[in-house]
């Protein structure tokens, strides 16, 4: 598995507020025929807790399912407790570090099957 790059992003979503300002984003990076990695999840600090992250995540999951994918994976850092809580709350389970994150002590990886 190659290291992530902008060139292998399948989908990039931007969430905007009512004024049209970008407040959150997220992307899918295809890993193989059945799975993708969630990349670049970010919400502006003053919009955290607004539901923007959940909306982006659900949209990424819906698009992954539409593409016929059966599993989503992601990597976050040990120094990102809010992200860890968010993904666990949203049904992602801890897995062994995969691909370029294998053996990285500051990485934490999660996965979720798509129904």
Q: Which domains does the chain have, with CATH numbers?
A: 6-113 (3.40.630.30)
Number of H helices, E strands in the chain: 2, 6
Check whether 67 has a pLDDT greater than 90: yes
Mention every residue, 6+ apart, whose C-beta is less than 8 A from residue 85.
none
Residues 56/90, Cβ–Cβ less than 8 Å = no
Give SS3 for 88.
Answer: helix
Is the pTM value of this prediction over 0.85?
A: yes
94-99 average pLDDT score? 97
H or E segment at 14? strand 9-16
- Quick check: 4 pLDDT over 60? no
């Amino acid at each position: 598995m190659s290291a992530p790059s902008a060139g292998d992003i399948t989908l990039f979503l931007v969430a905007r507020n009512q004024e049209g300002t970008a407040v959150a984003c997220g992307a899918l990076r295809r890993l193989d025929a059945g799975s993708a990695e969630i990349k670049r999840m970010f919400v502006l600090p003053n919009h955290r807790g607004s539901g923007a992250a959940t909306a982006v995540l659900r949209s990424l999951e819906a698009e992954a399912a539409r593409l016929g994918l059966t599993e989503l994976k992601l990597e976050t850092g040990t120094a990102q407790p809010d992200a860890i809580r968010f993904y666990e709350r949203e049904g992602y389970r801890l897995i062994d570090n995969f691909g370029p994150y294998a053996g990285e002590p500051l990485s934490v990886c999660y996965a979720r099957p798509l129904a």
